Amino acid sequence: MEGGGGEEGVGKFLNWATNIGITDAPLDTLDLEVPSLSSSCLGKSLFISEFPDAGGRGLGAARDLRKHELILRVPKSALMTSESLMLKDQKLSMSIKRYPNLSSTQILSVCLLAEVSKAKGSWWYPYLKQLPRQYETLSSFSNFETQALQVDDAIWATERAVSKAEMQWKEAVPLMRELELRPQLLTFRSWLWSSATVSSRTLHVPWDSAGCFCPVGDLFNYAAPGMESFSSEEIASWMQTSTLDLEISSSSKNTSGEELDVECIDGDSQRAYCFYARSRYRKGEQVLLGYGTYTNLKLLEHYGFLLNANTNEKVFIQMEQKVNISSWPKDSIYIQHDGKPSFALLSALRLCVIPPNHRKSVGHLAYSGKQLSAENEISVMKWLRKKCEVLLAKLPSSIETDGLLLTFIEKMQNRPSICEVKKMITTCEVEIEIFFESTNSETLGEVCELGLSNKARRSIERWKLAVQWRLRYKQILSQCFSFCGETIYFLSAQQDSCVL
Ligand SMILES: C[S@@+](CC[C@H](N)C(=O)[O-])C[C@H]1O[C@@H](n2cnc3c(N)ncnc32)[C@H](O)[C@@H]1O
């Protein structure tokens, strides 16, 4: 995902942001600040930079930052919401009232397109100009990219996302016609852009479930919550607001030094979205934000990216009908990112592999996470190992092939030489052929010489995400397979030594 507008656009955007009161000045200097046309709202705590391995354009620490320090303040008047847009546009406000069945996210998507339609006439023009031009969220996946996910659940989730977007677009078209938006803004493609902008960039506000656009505040890239538990404090570098993640907070403090609570009152100029450093940062480090707890598929669905090291990644396991897991919610039955079974999966399996008439007497042990016996544990591990083996065997490509395919895709993104590519193509010939067909690409020789067409360049990024997703899925199953094998070996050896 690339931000639009180029360097010049970013400069204009930061000037605009400064003039509307956005600032990264430390709290103790805020009262002394006199906004000037030439100063940038950034530079005192944060700076914009490219972080190629973690989200592209993002915000870095302009100096060493202390834990809990206020590092960015965006006044309420600078937040773009359906409400603030309607206040400035009577036609928009009147028309929206005639469509009470549209959801808050549909309304914000329409409001965004209506603002884009005004081009330079929009008060938000400098902000709109630097928004990304395209997104890789699941709703924009073509059939080829969807099938590249390989796993049924992921394919269904993508098909659902595409049809939901289409339905929401159809419902919103009459309103957009009434608003006389430019024809190109009425298309499904524009809708995908607008709804993905809402999905991937809005921050929570208490008065609108669609959230708000928060200029500059929406430049923070993402770190998964949970990373802090097994890495140093440098990596645990996301932000918090005064309450939970991304809660709007008052900029002022009451006399006891506690932050005031969160209600936003119209007309109260003190109200602002405040970002506080969640841990210490060294100068130059990227400052990251925890948007929430997401599996890779959810990250793809809402934000159009995934993390290779995502501690919240899960491989959900479907149990056969005859296995009774009714005591556990379905979404608690999974293999964790490190290949180990979840608490619920392990407990459910421990009960499943013993005869039904014995279950009642040991149920309390299983539900409290205790091993029932070495034999029982070995049976559980054998069941799970078989499950992983079957799931892996069902998929059309192996871990090794996917690894090679990713190398091929990365090469294709960087103008490869034809010899290089020809050598690699034998690995996954069929899938590569379908990619060329689905993007109406020329022959391989021409692609190597002239580069990929625009259509192919857009598609290859999503294809890469699909292959990365399925590879991670397979790696987790494979790790679980090994974990089960090691546990069986260990328990069997223990049993043998007891017999001796
Ligand atoms: C709120 S925006 C963050 C700023 C964004 N990079 C930009 O240039 O405007 C969220 C988007 O940034 C990208 N992003 C954020 N964190 C990321 C990460 N850790 N890895 C890859 N992409 C990330 C995703 O495209 C996501 O939809």
The pick from 221, 238, 468 for probing ligand 1's pocket by mutation, whose C-beta has the most ligand atoms within 8 angstroms, reads 221
- The pLDDT of residue 70 is 94
* Index of the ligand 1 atom closest to the CA of residue 196: 27
- Residue 158 near residue 462 (C-beta atoms within 8 A): no
Reported as a single tens digit per residue, the pLDDT across 216-245 is 999 999 988 755 433 323 222 222 233 223
Q: Token match 């809990």: residue?
A: 68
Percent of the chain with pLDDT over 90: 63
Residue 271: phi, psi to the nearest 5?
-75, 140
- Residue 164 near residue 39 (C-beta atoms within 8 A): no
* Index of the ligand 1 atom closest to the CA of residue 291: 1
Q: DSSP code of 263? A: -
d(CA 273, CA 253): 14
Hey, whose CA ends up nearest to atom 8 of ligand 1?
A: 57
* Index of the ligand 1 atom closest to the CA of residue 220: 3
d(CA 223, CA 241): 15
Question: What type of residue is 268?
Answer: D
Q: ipTM surpassing 0.90, yes or no?
A: yes
Hey, whose CA ends up nearest to atom 4 of ligand 1?
A: 219
d(CA 28, CA 48): 23
* Index of the ligand 1 atom closest to the CA of residue 222: 16
Positions of the chain with pLDDT lower than 50, given as ranges: 36-38, 228-269
Q: What is the DSSP string of 4-26?
A: SSHHHHHHHHHHHHHHTT-B---
Q: What is the CA radius of gyration of the chain?
A: 26
Q: List alpha helices for 118-219, DSSP H.
A: 125-129, 143-147, 152-178, 188-201
Hey, whose CA ends up nearest to atom 17 of ligand 1?
A: 55
- Residue 114 near residue 92 (C-beta atoms within 8 A): yes
- Give the relative orientation of helices 454-499 and 296-303 as an angle to the nearest 10 degrees: 160
- The pLDDT of residue 224 is 81
Q: Token match 């103790």: residue?
A: 28
Q: How far is the CA of 294 from the centre of ligand 1 (A)?
A: 14
Residues contacting 210, CB < 8 A, separation 6+: 81, 82, 103, 104, 105, 107, 108, 198, 202
Residue 45: phi, psi to the nearest 5?
-125, -30
The pick from 222, 289, 300, 469 for probing ligand 1's pocket by mutation, whose C-beta has the most ligand atoms within 8 angstroms, reads 222
Q: Which residues lie with the beta carbon below 6 Å from any ligand 1 atom?
A: 1, 3, 54-58, 132, 200-201, 218-219, 221-222, 303-305, 307
Q: Say whether 464 sits in a helix, a strand or coil.
A: helix
- The pLDDT of residue 239 is 28
- Residue 367 near residue 344 (C-beta atoms within 8 A): no
- Is this model's pTM higher than 0.90 or not? no
- The pLDDT of residue 270 is 59
**What's the half-sphere exposure (Cβ side, CA atoms, 13 Å) at 183?**
0
Residue 276 is inside which H or E element, if any? Answer: strand 271-277
d(CA 130, CA 48): 12
- Residue 234 near residue 285 (C-beta atoms within 8 A): yes
d(CA 449, CA 421): 12
CA angle at 146 for the pair 152 and 429, rounded to the nearest 5°: 100
Reported as a single tens digit per residue, the pLDDT across 258-290 is 222 222 333 444 589 999 998 899 999 999 988
